[in-house]
Structure 1
Amino acid sequence: MFVAAQVDDSLRLRVAALKLVVPDHAIVVDRTAAWIHEVDALPRSAIHRMPSLDVVSSLASRVRRPGIDSGIRNFTAADLMVLDGLRVTTPLRTACDLGRLLWRFDALAAIDGFLRAGLDHAELLAEIDRYKGFRGVVQLRTLAPLGDRKAESPPESALRLHWYDADIGTPETQIWVYDDAGRPKYRIDVGDPEVHYGGEYFGAEFHGEDAEEHDEARIAWLERERVWKIDVFTNDDVYGRELEAADRLRRGFLMAQASRGLRRTAYVDLAR
């Protein structure tokens, strides 16, 4: 389905598009269900290539149509909702399925996205035992408690998981740093306010060449005026083949921890 560029995106439009290709007996699941629920869980390749639709059947045979990634799956009535005739897994079921089935960095991002969209964290945690014996339940059991609705994008969620992998404690997200008048000035994506160490994800969409000067000034202010140590991470650090972010976070954290006393003394001197 193609629409004019000036047509506003909406739930109604997304449902109408899927109804053109999804059979009546089928159920929209996983990444496509997240898209319906306005949670960003599409693969990163979606910016270049149309992703397959995630559609399953509760009947004996899968859906066999081009562009559809299908299978057979069992559901309870509580797992499903109907939107203008289209059957879709609920936000709770979709979050559990993506938390089980996606690559762990994408899985945590999906969980964060659903929490940000209003899913109750306690309800998600209470649901986990139901999936005992399901594929990926160990991953879901590990990641669901780490969910954080304050994470603002999938790469930030992935960076936070690298922080846990670095074994440097529990990070905070979206940490406000204040100016001398007590006004919130800048936010740090993920960090430890006690150690004054933080990690920032710089994606091409919001941190390209046009924003380079502002980004450099922001990092310089945080390090000079508030004596934070900030490391910057890119797409390759977070998602690349080497997955170097955890190692960099650990090194940066330990360096910041070791120099904490000296930096605090410097901060007091600056404040005088």
Structure 2
Amino acid sequence: MSTAVVRGYPQATAVTISQWAESGQRCAMTIHPPNHPFRWRDLRTLGIPEFTLRRWLDSDVVRRLLTGVYCSTELPDTLELRARCVALVLPDDAVVCDRTAAWLWGVNAHDPDDRFGVPDVEVAVPPGHPKPRRNGVRGMERDLKSSETASVFGVSVTTPVRTALDLACIRGRWGALAVLDAFMSEHDLAHKDFALGLTRFKGRRGVTQVRELYPLATPLSESPGESWTRGVIIDEGLPMPEPQVEITANGVLMARIDLAYRRQRVAVEYDGEEFHGEEQRDHDESRRTWLREQGWHVIVIRKEQLSGPARADWLAELGRVLGERSARVKRLYARSRLPWQRPS
């Protein structure tokens, strides 16, 4: 009978393949995930075989929150839980920053194509301090004032304003705008908060981009995809759309449009997979059919249309429709019989 040494198996003894399979099923049924976050290297201490963790991950009993950090899916995704996860891999002299800090503050700073990935923990150390070198942690040097850091359940993290500005310096234009939008929405930040925080960023790479973008940020954007779509429109040189426009009929709310041009009756909507899946499709189509019946021109965007030829197509459509529906406003002057009294 064939045997195998199963890595992570209790006592690490040689067992038959059938015994290993039976024990795996038994462990998956009898062992329960801890009620706290844990690391891969903690498995032996917790008495959890590696194959049991793999089974839990495959069956959604456990989820991976950070590289090498796991927790039961029964635990609610709270700020405290996220902080406890980060604390497991955070060096003593480091401050959580950038995307990990945004994640702790409840802001998703991923691009539309990678927003469901699990990035490394990003931490900052004071200038001259050794950067952490370990799997799942990316270290960098940052000169941070005490006013630019906060404690979240015992974890040192950059403040919402500092986090937003740091990310807006290093992200692409549309990703930067999405981050600024999200922090304004989640943490009630205002344009003046960004302006004040930028006084510390003089000469930093990317600061020119942030100075240009933060006046365009809005707390009304409800997803990174909406912010990206608005950014594409802005960069194309088209008029700025109004976010989250509510359309009523006889006092009843009939539709809420992601981005709209009220006067021209043009709607631009971003359909993200998490908000506009199969269960939402019928509702979306009914709402958009009603808008079209009321004379609205509706353009629907998905993430694959944010780049390449597909982007050029819908931008051309938007520009054409706005041009056709924009009434030319003539300047009217009082006529005068005297040439020198007429406006030049």
- Same fold? TM cut 0.5: yes
Q: Name the amino acid aligned to 1:56.
A: A
2:83 alignment partner in structure 1: 15
Q: Name the amino acid aligned to 1:7.
A: L
* Aligned-residue offset at 1:247: 5.5
- Which structure 2 residues correspond to residues 1-272 of structure 1 after superposition, within 5 A? 1-43=69-111, 44-47=113-116, 49-58=117-126, 59-117=128-186, 118-179=188-249, 181-225=250-294, 227-238=295-306, 240=307, 242=308, 244-245=310-311, 248-259=314-325
* Aligned-residue offset at 1:250: 4.6
Q: Name the amino acid aligned to 2:77.
A: D
The CA distance in 1 between the partners of 2:279 and 2:79, in whole Å, is: 33
* Aligned-residue offset at 1:260: 5.5
State the Cα deviation string for residues 203-242 of structure 1 (Å, max 9, x = none): 22222333333222221210112x111111001012x4x1
Q: Which runs of 5+ in 2 are unaligned?
A: 1-68, 328-344
Percent identity between the two aligned chains: 34
* Aligned-residue offset at 1:246: 6.0
The CA distance in 2 between the partners of 1:198 and 1:126, in whole Å, is: 35
**Residue 26 of structure 1 contacts residue 55 of structure 1 at CA under 8 Å; is this kept in 2?**
yes
Q: CA RMSD in A?
A: 1.8
Q: Name the amino acid aligned to 2:315.
A: L
* Aligned-residue offset at 1:244: 4.3
The CA distance in 2 between the partners of 1:228 and 1:34, in whole Å, is: 37
The CA distance in 1 between the partners of 2:177 and 2:309, in whole Å, is: 16
The CA distance in 1 between the partners of 2:326 and 2:139, in whole Å, is: 53
Q: Name the stretch that deviates more: 214-223 or 133-142.
A: 214-223
Q: Name the amino acid aligned to 2:200.
A: R
**Residue 201 of structure 1 contacts residue 232 of structure 1 at CA under 8 Å; is this kept in 2?**
yes
* Aligned-residue offset at 1:50: 2.0
Q: Name the amino acid aligned to 1:73.
A: R
The CA distance in 1 between the partners of 2:194 and 2:183, in whole Å, is: 10
Q: TM-score, normalised on structure 1?
A: 0.88
**Residue 163 of structure 1 contacts residue 246 of structure 1 at CA under 8 Å; is this kept in 2?**
no
Q: Secondary structure at the match of 2:114?
A: helix
Number of positions where the alignment pairs a residue of Structure 1 with one of Structure 2: 256
* Aligned-residue offset at 1:243: 6.8
Compared CA separation, residues 151 and 14, structure 1 to 2 (3 A)? same
The CA distance in 2 between the partners of 1:107 and 1:81, in whole Å, is: 22
**Residue 62 of structure 1 contacts residue 70 of structure 1 at CA under 8 Å; is this kept in 2?**
yes
Q: Name the amino acid aligned to 2:304.
A: D
Q: TM-score, normalised on structure 2?
A: 0.70
**Residue 108 of structure 2 contacts residue 115 of structure 2 at CA under 8 Å; is this kept in 1?**
no
The CA distance in 1 between the partners of 2:93 and 2:223, in whole Å, is: 34
Q: Name the stretch that deviates more: 34-43 or 14-23.
A: 34-43
**Residue 264 of structure 2 contacts residue 325 of structure 2 at CA under 8 Å; is this kept in 1?**
no
Q: Which runs of 5+ in 1 are unaligned?
A: 262-272
* Aligned-residue offset at 1:125: 2.3
* Aligned-residue offset at 1:124: 1.0
Q: Name the stretch that deviates more: 81-90 or 168-177.
A: 81-90
**Residue 57 of structure 1 contacts residue 71 of structure 1 at CA under 8 Å; is this kept in 2?**
yes
